[in-house]
Structure 1
Amino acid sequence: MRHAALFVAVCLAFAPSAHSAETAAAAPASELARSITIPYEAFTLDNGLRVVVHTDRKAPVVAVQAWYNVGSKDEPKGKTGFAHLFEHIGLFNPTENLPGGLMVPLRDIGATDWNGTTWFDRTNFFQTVPTSALEQALYMESDRMGHLLGALNQERLDNQRGVVQNEKRQGDNQPYGMVEYAQLETLFPEGHPYRHSTIGSMADLDAATLEDLRQWHRDNYGPNNAVLSLAGDIDVATARRLVEKYFGHIPRGAANEPAAADIPTLPKRVDLTLHDRVPATRLYRTWVVPGTLDDQTAELDIAATVLGGLNSSRLDEALVRREQVAVAVTTSYLPFHRLGLFEVTVDVKPGQDPEAVGRRLDALIADYVAKGPTADEVARATTSWLASFIRAIEPTGGFGGKSVILAEGALYAGDPGYYPRTVTADYAAATPASVRKTLQAWLSRPVLAITVAPGEREAYEEAVAERPAPAPVAPLAITPREKMPGVGTMKPLDFPDVERARLGNGLEVVYARSTAVPMTQVAVEFDAGVAADPADALGTQRLLLSLLDQGTATRDATAIAETSERLGATLTTQASLDRTAVLLGIVSPNLAPGLDLLADVVRRPAFNEADLERVRAQQLAAIDQERSSPNGIGLRALPGLLYGKAHPYGRPFSGLGRPEAVTALDRDDLVAFHQRWLRPDNARIFVVSDRPLAELQPLLEARFGDWQAPEAAKGRKDFSADIPAPQPRIVLIDRPQSPQSLILGAVVLPVSGKDDLVAFNAANEVIGNGFLSRINQDIRETRGWSYGLNGRVSLAEQRSPYIISAPVQANRTGESVQVLIDQYAAFLGDKGVTAAERERTINGSVRSLPGGFETSAAVLNALRGNALYGRPDTYWETLGPKYEALSAADMDAAARRIIRDEDLVWVVVGDAASVKPQLEKLGMTVEVRAAE
């Protein structure tokens, strides 16, 4: 059925923006809402497969999304986690006609954004592929749908079971990682479809049999239970022909009616206290509310946004800014198919009484429920949501994008246009009265109040040590089909033309145009970064950046936040090792006032004492949080081991710094840092916009052209400190009660981001970087000891580090380190790149280039990277020929020249009581440390 005329891209018709701050006005939310549409056409095959097609010719790629009407809410008792486990089997295992699995051909054709996900209500598989590889992608997706079971055997089930159980351990191992289980079990009665988590229980995963999984596929993966969404360089006539060709033969399966689920109400308030190895107490307030198809969805989301989702939110203003009893607050509305969750979290400021903060939180919520939001709050929340929706529909696919939005609408509402049409209209129509009515209907009911306090964790459910051997299961017949089609002629990357201009003060502007959506991305970038932090005051830059949007000469923090929200803007700061940036993302009709705000924040920060003390407390709390998570613990220790503490790279890469230094900083320190580093003679402006440079340059000139450097000397980074000679050893950092260990292996390379690393990166994809890398295939896919691991170079302006990251189940820590050592030694020895690995890597690297720059943010990052590493504007377009010219010998030579595996230092974060004996068997020095 034809639903709308098919246009080239998302249609967003706005009036031209004003050219000066004086005449500029924010586009009203109603105009934004009316202007959002994703044109599509839909049809249904005889076997029940629903297909949705959207045409977007901005790049020669097509997003392919297969959504199945089954999630964890559809799992019967004793089979929790099955939907997610089967997603892994479908994603990572062979099919009947692809005995090597889908991952190798997906990489070979240059797929981007490929993955699969499962949640309460659905399972999906997705990939974005070059247009000339679309037929191959559809063949693979149809083989996953209709030709999977004959390739599923016990060994593959056991491997993916191990991977999923390690995914569970990885999530559980994070601070506050056990809260979801308590929430669901308390909010929902026994037998309710939403009572268990999507990841499931260890016991149920242990009990899954091969026949269980076969039946799960038969019951849920038929074409009549699916939606296929195609968005990008395709039209409906082509889609109909190809989908019929590859999916039309698959027979209907069982009809799955999604599990019905009421919205339960607690009989009275429930208070629970949990314990975890966390630095600060966190308070939770949770209610069960209506879900995505309810006509109150927009009001619930607006209510959550106003309460704790905006920078200017009620809870931020009261608890964080004014009373300063909390360091962070969030409020979220999570809509599912049958119901939703409304959740508030508050991180209590260290030294405050959690019970008193909890009572104050409850009083603030009660007052908000009674009175509701103001008209201005509703308008700001609505504009912020609409702007985020516009950003979300810039890509064709991935985890978001137009194909996702169309598939969700078709699956849940039976209407692909449900979100861009119905939901946006609901947001535009929301009023303070309608939001207040919704609040009073749902948040006046009894709440689940959870407190997570520092302390010993409660007992942890582990998997069985040894499962009994399963009974033999007869193999299934395999139905062969035609050979998978090849790949057509690929279109090379056409990177946007780069233009440059200079403002009156000499400040350079680097510009590229992207017209997919009416968005402008601006980065004011400085040659600073974490490496610019004073050696005796680590954390200075992070504290300064946190204060930039907390007050200027003319605006306080609330005014800055409210202005940003009215404009539908995102105003953020960012610091890598080498660069510091203030970024503005904004709908282009509001660009002029958005640039006013950006210039004010960059040029005229106030650094008020009251704001300084509040933000300092938040940064100290963030340091404590970093020191409680496995990744944070490891990555705080690693830089000093690699570079030495005197080197600018020898400090925590996060830039949070050291607590004693952050505590000692005063306003004068921040002003001095700002004058040395955040100045026009140390800056460059990058812009990606749908508006031409000729229109943008006067706007930038008016706001930055008269900016003059201060008299203070410009900052200079000192890299003269020697990098210490490598000291290969294992540094074990004790983190008790850890069901997983985090392994980090690292070495400083003799190269920087300015070197030509094309051959090295290609070689490293074979050994360390990506799903198909040898270390990931060995430890994750073959042994099932990890959810995923990688080894990659972290590009830097000076000598760059190479870091292996491997979270593994605790009882396999020592063996995993040995596997990593053996894999790198073999690869850098006599087992280098094979012909098949070379072909796959080169094909994938070349063919994925056109799909890598769908969004304006991706183009902006490319411009910034080119400038940092001294690359020409045409750099990305030259990569294809460079890759194609590489031989396996070239790749081997680059890897062997750059990596010395015998110099790797290993950091392991885990429970020393169980891990140390494993590591001592490796014959290396083991140094045990307490967590920082």
Structure 2
Amino acid sequence: MRRFFTAAALPLALLASSVTAQDTPRPAAEAAPLAELVQEVEIPFETFTLPNGLTTIVHTDRKAPLVGVTIYYRVGSKHEPRGRTGFAHLFEHLMFGGSENVENFDIPLEAAGSTSTNGSTWYDRTNYVETVPTGALDLALFMESDRMGYLLGAVTQDKLDKQRSVVQNEKRQGDNQPYGLVEYKLSDGLLPVGHPYRHSTIGSMADLEAASLADVRQWFTDNYAPNNVVLALAGDIDAATARPIVQHWFGEIPAGPEVRKVAAEPVTLAAPVREEMTDQVPVTRVIRAWTGPELTSPDAVPLAVGLHVLGGLASSRLDNVLVRGEQLAVSVTAGAQQHEQINFLQAQMDVKPGVDRAVAEKRFDEVIAELVAEGPTEDEVTRAATQFVSSQIGALEEVGGFSGKGATLAEGLLYAGNPAHYKAELERLAALTPAQVREALQRWLGRPSYTLAVIPGERTEDGALMGGWGDEGTVPPPEPDPKIPVEVTRTASPRQAPPVAPVAELTFPAVEHARLSNGIEVALARRTAVPKVSLALTFDAGTAADGAARAGTQSLMMELLKEGTTSRSALEIAVEEERLGASIGTGTTTDSSTVTMTALAANLVPSLELMADIARNPAFDPAEVARVKDQRLAAIAQEQADPRGLASRAVGPLVYGEAHPYGSVGASGKPAVIQALTPERLAGEHRKWLRPDTARFTVVGDVTMAELLPALERTFADWTPPAEPKPVKNLTVPTPQPARKLVVIDRPNSPQSVLLLARVLPLTGTQQGREALDLANEVIGSGFLSRLNMQLREEKGWTYGISSSLSGVVGPRRLSVFTPVQSDRTADSIRLILEQMEAFAAGGQRVNETELQRVTDGNIRALPNSFQTNGQVLGALMTNQLLGRPDDYQSRLPEIYRAIDAQAIDSAAGQYLSPENLAIIVVGDRKQIDEQLETLDMPIEYLSAEEL
């Protein structure tokens, strides 16, 4: 089932006023009863099982001509033996490397229009997903069956070595982040050596080095049999049609051994345990953690709700006391990460700079202890439950992928023996009482905890040595892969891939237009698949309204909109939002500032009233402004500690120049700018840029224009623009002449270097007819099958992934190439990127027939998959409006793509994708990379994190 109770591992800056959760003086907004919302969540299904044990779940959803294919194997990292940690995940990578009858899984699937072609591994399972046009279902099932039954004849030492390098770089990429080693320490502190959930899914470097071809073959034989599989088919399919297809492709695969069961009970520590570690982080982070019961435990739902009340809600107990009230922390979070046999329970606090950690920890403990002793209020339980139910309703939009309806059903069967387990959880939510939550919290959080404090300083732990079994210091490490030759032979006679049937054209929703009485434009695309509405109120502003000199002003103003209005406190906003099951957000892109809302259709009117108050009547209370400024400064420090953040902050000023509106360090801004902002200046910023004559509404979802317009008139029609003329952004400011150079930012102890190559292109986003350039970008660097990814990841194994992009802005567009690479291959990676781009742009390696088919016909086939959700349609409409495209642009794309030939793509590459004059930003450890970079024979500049 979809794990909608899982808490995020990273902290969220949840902001509101300094009152407690129980102080809610405003009357409750009228909201649909929780029991009624639960009734909206329904995923009908049928199941059948083949004689070889493969179980298939089928859910029929005819809203689009596509099928989500979701396949779960009952094996994950908890099944790995000592000395082979990380092996389940490594094997997942190998499963994409081809089988006896398929050279490459991604090429034919993407050519057929598949999206979300991917896989993942965690403690309990390994899964593979693709969402395909109905006419490509036979192809998808042929491929899944081929790697299930006919893999070993195609797995070679070369493939193992390459994917081993890719996985090791995936591990380095995670370890290289601020707080990137925390997961290892938490599991080590909570669980004893040998516990199946103790070692990380990514594993240790030594164990990855030890994985041999013989290990690969044995893992496949022991675990990858049809009797260990749940296959979910959701979408334009029914059980009667599915059964013979599944039988045809999977029926001849013999059953194998059952995946071994492992004992993995929650662990109660004998006494509280405390540890500290220093790391290159901006603020001290304190984490309190426990293990909890299995996913099917009666306590699982109450614990998820209790921890959401503690630190998941915007109005959570920890937020109210530590962030808003006493301002001892800049962010907090809490949640339950549920697995089949165990639950990781966690509360987390980032201590505000300058605050005594002991004082903050004392209050942190007191808030936790108070909730455990007294339990939540009934209103808190209802608000938390409503958020979970609203999230699950939103998940009904997608048939496939990692969190769609197929995954929900498959996980229910896999973990609970019931595809409809999600429904049991929702009904449990609707009936949950504060007493049940209190009792569960007392049973599990009343036990001794493990506490980890991460202190700013030099990194002293080595991620390469972490993530393994846990006894590495007492026993010799495993020997590296001896690479003993293994005879590789076919399993059976060749099989032929089936043809792909014709794919239905995209049916993009019609867009209706209207105008409020005060002139605000309204665009509506009605969709009734789920009872929700997504809405955006967009203003012509964005970070470009700041430029470099005022970087961060617009985004801080937008962030403060939810921190209190002239009639509601920040807490009242949060409580009302939670009670309605709505999600209201504010933010900035380069060209726009936006207030967004996702609301339950039944609660649209009161949700709009709340949104209108947030957008129109911010209070900019001095105390709230001061607090949010402190949090923003901490967020900037976090960016400056993160290699990706440093590269992103450097690129705008470097390629656009600080005189251009796009030449800033980004939305977070500069510390000096943030420190100087006052409530009066922020209020002036709001008056200047957020006004009805710079605004438009874009709406997608289950509402008619006849219902929508009166609700918008009621909340926005009396909003009149100020007397001052509309502000104007000058996007024609000249940018610096592009020039090839290296810009190096030193980040000691980095196991990877982050590369960002960029330059400004001589065209703007509003220039039409540039689809050939977009397709050329797909060929070189956008997508898994791009040339750069195939070379740097699949062939060389130097990175976990690389991507190129063309910025979708109104003004001058930017070409960017981004990748983290292993440190000892920094210069080699730069050379290879430049060589590949030059070969394409100069005509040495023109687009081939396979690439042409993938980016034209493959994209056409994938269009129905690309607009399953209200959010996807909303994003497309907003982009159309921003760049001056017609409403039916997406419907025109098939005709546009069919008219683009290889010559047009090659011409676009030659004109715009040359690596000439790219600025190359490198964030890494200079001790490891300086000598390499000198061999590139380029002028080098050096920046420090403090300059950005």
- Where on the TM-score scale, by shorter chain, does this alignment land: which range? over 0.9
Residue 852 of structure 2 is matched in structure 1 by 838
Q: 2:826 aligns with which of 787, 807, 813?
A: 813
Please tell me whether residue 875 in structure 1 is matched to residue 875 in structure 2. Answer: no
Which SS does the other structure have where 1:619 is aligned?
helix
Instruction: Return the alpha-carbon distance in structure 1 between the equivalents of residues 850 and 866 of structure 2.
Output: 24
Q: Which amino acid letter does the alignment assign opposite residue 429 of structure 1?
A: A
1:589-628 correspondence to structure 2 within 5 Å:
589-628=602-641
2:149 corresponds to: 146
- Look up the SS of the partner of 2:95 in the other structure: helix
SS at match of 2:237: coil
Q: Which moved more, 1:836-845 or 1:677-686?
A: 836-845
Tell me whether 1:75 sits opposite 2:80 in the alignment. Answer: yes
CA offset digits 1:632-681 (Å, max 9, x no partner): 0001011111000111100123x111000100000111111111110100
2-structure distance, mates of 1:23, 1:636: 43
Q: Who is 1:65 aligned against?
A: 70
Aligned to 1:504: 517
Alignment of 1:23-172 (within 5 A): 25-91=30-96, 93-99=97-103, 101-172=104-175
**Alpha carbons 1:24, 1:592 under 8 Å: kept:** no
Give the drift of 1:84. Answer: 0.4
- Work out whether residues 393 and 400 of structure 1, in 8 Å CA contact, stay in contact via their aligned partners in 2: no
Paired residue type of 1:85: L
Structure 2 distance, partners of 1:485, 1:524, is: 47
Q: Measure the CA separation in 1 of the matches of 2:641 and 2:746.
A: 11
- Please report how far the alpha carbon of residue 241 of structure 1 lies from its aligned counterpart in structure 2 after TM superposition: 1.4
Q: Which residue of 2 aligns with 1:672?
A: 684
* Residues 467 and 670 of structure 1: CA distance in aligned 2, closer, same or farther (over 3 Å): same
Within the candidate set 430, 433, 456, 2:432 is matched to: 430
How does the TM-score come out when normalised to structure 2?
0.94
Over residues 682-739 of structure 1, what are the superposed CA-to-partner deviations in whole Å (9 max), with x where a residue is unaligned?
0000111212111111111111111111223322112242100012111110000000
Contact 1:33–1:424 at 8 Å: present in 2 too? yes
How many Å separate the matches in 1 of 2:688 and 2:496?
64
Cα distance in 2, alignment partners of residues 384 and 519 from structure 1: 13
What is aligned with 1:695? 707
Cα distance between partner residues in 1 of 2:851 and 2:875: 29
Residue 242 of structure 1 pairs with residue 245 of structure 2: yes
Q: Which string of whole-angstrom CA distances, capped at 9 and with x for unpartnered residues, describes residues 765-811 of structure 1?
A: 11111111111111100111100001111111001111100110011
Q: Distance in 2 between matches of 1:613 and 1:586?
A: 31
1:802 matched to 2:807: no
Count of aligned pairs: 908
Residue 378 of structure 1 and its aligned partner are, at CA, apart by 0.5
1:892 aligns with 2:892: no
Secondary structure of the residue aligned to 1:891 is: helix
TM-superposed CA distance for 1:535, in Å, is 4.4
Residue 598 of structure 1, CA deviation: 0.5
Which letter does structure 2 place at the counterpart of 1:520? V
Query: Could you tell me how far apart the structure 2 residues matched to 1:528 and 1:613 are?
Result: 24
Secondary structure of the residue that 1:919 maps to in structure 2? helix
Provide the rounded CA distance (Å) in 2 between the counterparts of 1:468 and 1:287. Answer: 36
8 Å Cα contact 1:291/1:340 also seen in 2: yes
Shift of 1:29: 1.0
Kept in 2, the 8 Å contact 1:395–1:854? The answer is yes
CA distance in 1, matches of 2:929, 2:284: 29
**Aligned partner of residue 923 in structure 1, secondary structure:** coil
CA distance in 1: counterparts of 2:592 and 2:858, whole angstroms: 30
* Alpha-carbon separation, structure 2, partners of 1:36 and 1:705: 35
Cα deviation, residue 534, structure 1:
5.5
Does the CA contact (< 8 Å) of 1:533 and 1:540 recur in 2?
yes
Give the superposition deviation at 1:285.
0.5
Aligned mate of 1:570, from 579, 583, 590: 583
| Match of residue 16 from structure 1 | none
- Give the 3 Å change call, closer, same or farther, for CA 236–612 of structure 1 in structure 2: same
Partner of 1:201: 204
Distance in 2 separating the partners of 1:304 and 1:73? 25
Change (3 A) 1:462 1:445: closer
Q: Deviations over 1:596-632 (max 9, x none)?
A: 0000000111111111011111111110001110110
Work out whether residues 751 and 898 of structure 1, in 8 Å CA contact, stay in contact via their aligned partners in 2.
no
Question: CA 1:754/1:719 → structure 2, altered by over 3 Å: closer, same or farther?
Answer: closer
**CA distance in 2 between partners of 1:64 and 1:370 (Å):** 46
1:822-843 deviations in Å (ceiling 9; x for gaps): 1111111121211221122212
1:710 maps to 722
**Is 1:723–2:763 an aligned residue pair?**
no
**Do the aligned residues in 1 keep the contact of 2:548 with 2:653 (CA within 8 Å)?**
no
Q: Does 1:321 align with 2:335?
A: no
Q: Distance in 2 between matches of 1:803 and 1:595?
A: 38
Cα distance in 2 for partners of 1:639, 1:929 equals 14
> Shift of residue 461 of structure 1?
4.9
The letter of the residue matching 2:747 is R
Tell me how far apart the structure 1 counterparts of residues 944 and 39 of structure 2 sit (CA, whole Å). Answer: 57
1:382–1:427 Cα contact (<8 Å) kept? yes
| AA aligned opposite 2:302 | E
Distance 1:427 1:886 in 2: 52
Q: 1:191 aligns with which of 189, 194, 204?
A: 194
CA contact (8 A) 2:106 2:117 kept: no
2:777 is aligned with 1:764: yes
C-alpha separation in 2, matches of 1:720 and 1:213: 57
Pairwise CA distance, 1:901: 1.5
Determine whether 1:331 maps to 2:334. Answer: yes
What's 1:548 paired with? 561
Tell me which moved more, 143-152 or 477-486.
477-486
Match of 1:300 among 299, 303, 324: 303
Residue aligning to 2:697: 685
Residue 588 of structure 2 is aligned to residue 586 of structure 1: no
The residue identity in structure 2 corresponding to 1:51 is: T
Matched, 1:483 2:487: no
Residue 455 of structure 1: aligned partner: 457
Return the alpha-carbon distance in structure 2 between the equivalents of residues 443 and 24 of structure 1: 33
Contact 1:676–1:713 (Cα < 8 Å) also in 2: no
Deviation at 1:199, TM superposition (A): 0.3
C-alpha distance in structure 2 between counterparts of 1:30 and 1:839, whole Å: 49
Equivalent in the alignment of 2:550 = 537
2:745 match: secondary structure? strand
Give per-residue Cα distances to partners, 1:329-358, cap 9 Å, x unaligned: 010100100010111111111111112211
2:649 maps to 636
Distance in structure 2 (CA, Å) of the matches to 1:22 and 1:820: 60
Say whether the 8 Å CA contact 1:166–1:787 is kept in structure 2.
yes
Shift of 1:105: 0.6
Runs of 5+ unmatched residues, structure 2 = 1-25, 466-476
SS of the residue corresponding to residue 848 of structure 1 reads helix
| Helix, strand or coil at the partner of 1:688 | strand
Give the corresponding residue for 1:6: none
Tell me the SS of whatever aligns to 2:70: strand
* 1:928 aligned partner: 942
How far off its partner does 1:257 sit? 3.5
How many Å apart are 1:574 and its aligned residue? 2.2
> CA–CA distance in 2 between the matches of 1:317 and 1:532?
33
Aligned partner letter, 1:62? V
Cα offset, 1:885, TM superposition: 1.6
Please, which moves more after superposition, 839-848 or 372-381?
839-848
Alignment partners' CA distance in 2, 1:622 and 1:42:
48
Equivalent-residue separation in structure 2 for 1:390 and 1:503 (angstroms): 30
| Cα distance between partner residues in 2 of 1:590 and 1:400 | 24
